[in-house]
Amino acid sequence: QVQLVESGGGLVQAGGSLRLSCAASGGSLSSFAMGWFRQAPGKEREFVAAIRWSSGTTYYTDSVKGRFTISRDNAKNTVYLQMNSLKPEDTAVYYCAARVGSIVVATTRYAYWGQGTQVTVSS
């Protein structure tokens, strides 16, 4: 059983930066893909970025390409989401998720979820 704990959210002005962390416990992540999702008020949860733990392969949704970077630290079993040039439309609760296998964008394909961390970008 994999447990995920996010941290690093907060309030930031437009154009600013935040780094989210997702600490994983409960076993080896070598066969996992790790994803970041977000959910704004009144909207469905959407895919943001993902990384294949073993290869480091990454994938991003178009709206964050060039602004967000996903990475992982093998020694700390932690996944990061570096968010730069933040926009008010990035405001949401951000969730970390994990699945065995390759990167996919569908929320229903991820078995493990963190509790979420709030990111608020003011204009």
> pLDDT means per 10 residues in the chain (123 residues)?
96 98 93 98 97 97 98 96 98 98 97 98 97
Please provide the DSSP assignment of 89-121 as one string.
GG-EEEEEEEEESS----GGG--EE---EEEEE
Element (H, E) at 79: strand 78-83
**Residue 27: per-residue pLDDT:** 84
Q: Which burial class, exposed, middle or buried, applies to 87 when counting CB atoms under 10 A from its CB (0-12, 13-18, 19+)?
A: middle
Q: 10-13 and 117-122: which strand pairing? A: parallel
Cα–Cα distance measured from residue 56 to residue 85, given in angstroms and rounded to the nearest whole number: 23
**Residue 112: per-residue pLDDT:** 97
